[in-house]
Amino acid sequence: MATVPTQPQFLPDGGVTSPRGWQAGARYVGIKRYGTEPRLDLGLLWSERLATAAGVFTRNKVCGAPVAVCRENLADGRAHALVANSGCSNVAMGARGLEDARRMAAITAARLHVSADQVLVASTGVIARPLPMPVIEQGIGEIELTDDGGASFARAIMTTDTVSKERAIRFSVGGQSYVVGGTAKGSGMVHPDMATVFCFLTTDAPIAPSWIAPLLKDTADRSINMTDVDMDTSTSDTMLLLANGAAGGELLSGGEPLGVAFQQALMDVAIELSRDLCRDGEGAETLIEVVVKGASSESDARRAARCIASSPLVKTMITGKDANLGRVLMALGRSGAQLDVESVGIWIGEHEAFHSGTPTELDLKTISDTMRQSEVRVTVELGLGGHQATAWGCDLTEGYIRINADYTT
Region of 178-186, 204-212, 238-246, 392-400 interacting with its own copies (CB under 8 A): 392-400
Terminal-to-terminal C-alpha distance of the chain: 57
Interacting span for its own copies (CB under 8 A) from 72-80, 210-218, 292-300, 313-321: 313-321
Task: Confirm or reject binding of residue 33 to its own copies (CB under 8 A).
Answer: no
Q: Give the one residue of 71, 231, 250, 373 binding its own copies; rule: CB under 8 A.
A: 231
CA-nearest of 348, 345, 302, 301 to 324 is 348
Q: Looking at beta carbons only, is 51 or 229 nearer to its own copies?
A: 229
Interhelix angle 94-112/65-73, nearest 10 degrees: 50
CB of 82 to its own copies, least distance (A): 23
Binding flag, residue 323, its own copies (CB under 8 A): yes
Chain residues 211-230 in contact with its own copies, contact rule CB under 8 A: 230
Q: Find, among 141, 58, 68, 129, the residue nearest to 99 by Cα.
A: 68
Looking at the Cβ atoms of 37 and 406, the one nearer to its own copies is 406
Helix 298-310 to helix 312-319 angle, to the nearest 10 degrees? Answer: 50
**36 or 408: whose CB is closer to its own copies?**
408
Query: Measured over all CA atoms, what is the biggest interatomic distance in the chain, rounded to whole angstroms?
Result: 69
Nearest to 26 by CA among 77, 102, 87, 69: 87
CB atoms under 10 Å from CB of 139, counted, come to 23
Cα separation, 168 vs 338, in Å, equals 38
Judged by CB under 8 A, the chain residues 325 through 384 that form the site for its own copies are 325-327, 329-334, 339, 341-342, 354, 356-359, 364
Question: Known catalytic residue: 319?
Answer: no
In the bound complex, what is the minimum distance in angstroms from residue 231's beta carbon to its own copies?
6
Of the listed 196, 202, 227, 370, which one is catalytic?
196
Considering the complex, state which of residue 204 and residue 395 has its C-beta at the smaller distance from its own copies: 395
How far apart are CB 309 and its own copies at their closest, in Å?
Answer: 13
Q: Which of 77, 209, 312, 385 binds its own copies (CB under 8 A)?
A: 312
State the Cα–Cα distance between residues 187 and 143, nearest whole angstrom.
26
- Size, binding site for its own copies by CB under 8 A: 64
CB of 160 to its own copies, least distance (A): 12
C-alpha span between 119 and 401 (Å, rounded): 37
Please, which of residues 157-196 interact with its own copies by CB under 8 A? Answer: 188, 191-193
Contact 252, 262 (CB under 8 A): yes
Q: What is the DSSP letter of 145?
A: P
Smallest gap from Cβ 390 to its own copies, in A, equals 21
In 93-238, alpha helices (H): 94-112, 133-142, 150-156, 209-221
Binding mask 37-66 for its own copies (x = CB under 8 A): ----------------------xxxxx---
Of 117, 107, 109, 128, the closest CA to residue 64 belongs to 128
Identity of the residue numbered 240: L
Cα 52 to Cα 73: distance, rounded to the nearest angstrom:
12
CB-wise, 308 or 389, nearer to its own copies?
A: 308
Sequence-ordered list of residues with C-beta below 8 angstroms from that of 36, at least 6 positions apart, any chain: none
Stretch that binds its own copies, among 7-15, 264-272, 290-298, 321-329 (CB under 8 A): 321-329
Asked if residue 317 binds its own copies (CB under 8 A), the reply is yes
Query: Does residue 101 contact residue 91 with C-beta atoms inside 8 Å?
Result: no
Give the nearer residue to its own copies in terms of CB position, either 81 or 329. 329
**Residues found near its own copies in the complex (CB under 8 A):** 59-63, 91-94, 126-129, 188, 191-193, 230-235, 311-313, 316-317, 319-320, 322-327, 329-334, 339, 341-342, 354, 356-359, 364, 395-398, 400-402, 404-409
